[in-house]
Structure 1
Amino acid sequence: MNDHILVVDDEKEIADLIELYLMNEGFTIHKCYDGKSALKVIEEQRLDLAILDVMLPDTDGFSICRTIREKFNYPIIMLTAKIEDVDKIRGLTIGADDYITKPFNPLEVIARVKAQLRRYKNYNDISQEEERDVYEIGGLVIDNERHECTLYGKPVSLTPIEFKILWTLCENDGKVVSSEQLFETVWGEEYLDCNNTVMVHIRRLREKLGERPRNPKYIKTVWGVGYKIEK
């Protein structure tokens, strides 16, 4: 079955260009030029990934991103004409998995889409798991086989990236994992000193786990070193 991708951009030329390149790769595209149409597609179609422009005539990509994250965990890539870090951080904080700054090379979009889909499928593929791996830490239960996370019995909705970060910390069981190690393990890319992606995702994870910023129960910060979770 072909992967279904939502493309939302009010600039028709850009939306059409992305559609053309992705269709040539065999993807099924649902194209929208405004937020209202996009929300309708989100509710009615089975989607595997969304590409959202930040600026839209009737809303913004951040609002659509939040709506998706209320129900779905598939990857979200933000398109932005801005280069300010605050916009990138905001997108990552509310649940986006990646961002692309305009103007862009269409081949970069294809590469990012394929990378996100590959990670998403790998994280959700339980058919190849030989045994069930579960970590339980003070009311927090992380089930790698079922790709589920609960907090005192209540489901916690995590994106594939957030789940992988949490699982990586659990696997290291009390050992400190540096931001560099986390990034290269989860994203599979080389870490750069100026990269604050891990920090943003850790912050988002803590919010979902109801952590107190100054005294987190689960994800501990070891200043100058990295993060850890202790059973």
Structure 2
Amino acid sequence: MKAIVYSLLAGAMLLTSCAKDNVEPPKSRLTGRVVYQDQAVGVRSFGSTNLGSNASMLELWQRGFGLFNKIPVFVDQDGTFSAELFDGDYKLVRSRGNGPWVDNTDSISVNVNGNTVLDVPVQPYFTFTNASIQKSNNTMTATCTVSKTATRDIERVVLFISRTAIVDVTNNLARSEKADADVADLSKPLTFSLAIPASIRGTVYARLGVKAIGAGEYLYTPVQKFE
């Protein structure tokens, strides 16, 4: 599900006669990905939470019409985002504390003119390598190696499973986690085994997540579907 965001500026545009201007809705679209080393970063989907929570979010700002308003842009679980906007110049900001990455206060200048594509670089605290998830009968297994890429220490690594394609810390039916001594040595691969609950019949969705101490969000592997 893409989060479609409309510019808040249209309501402030008035004719000099003080009559309200009939402004057409925005027709241009800004799309892109949140990336690390040119790869999209998996996050918790805005679709699994409510507006205003800690779902990974970007902000667009535009000056003009006497206002300087924030336009929230929520990142989908595959690291993509989409916003419908008026053509113009914007500043894109990575919201502080709203992702599994290092806060970056630098803004990115964006000129929206028709359909515009933008990759937004971030620095995750941790990344996955050699991640693999398998299903055998009524058991899910997974292996992975976690690499530290920033200054914070690791809190936990979790295998999540769900009956829906939205899988994360707030939307799962079962989980298996490693923490404390189990994640003290990141040079060793981590292994997980998780019995599939009886409430899940047929299709199962799964992904791995890693959380840094003090971070508000997990970083996730892509969602995988198992029949």
The answer to which structure, 1 or 2, has the higher relative contact order (CA under 8 A, 6+ apart) is: 2
TM-score by length of 2: 0.24
Structure with the larger strand share = 2
TM-score by structure 1 length?
0.23
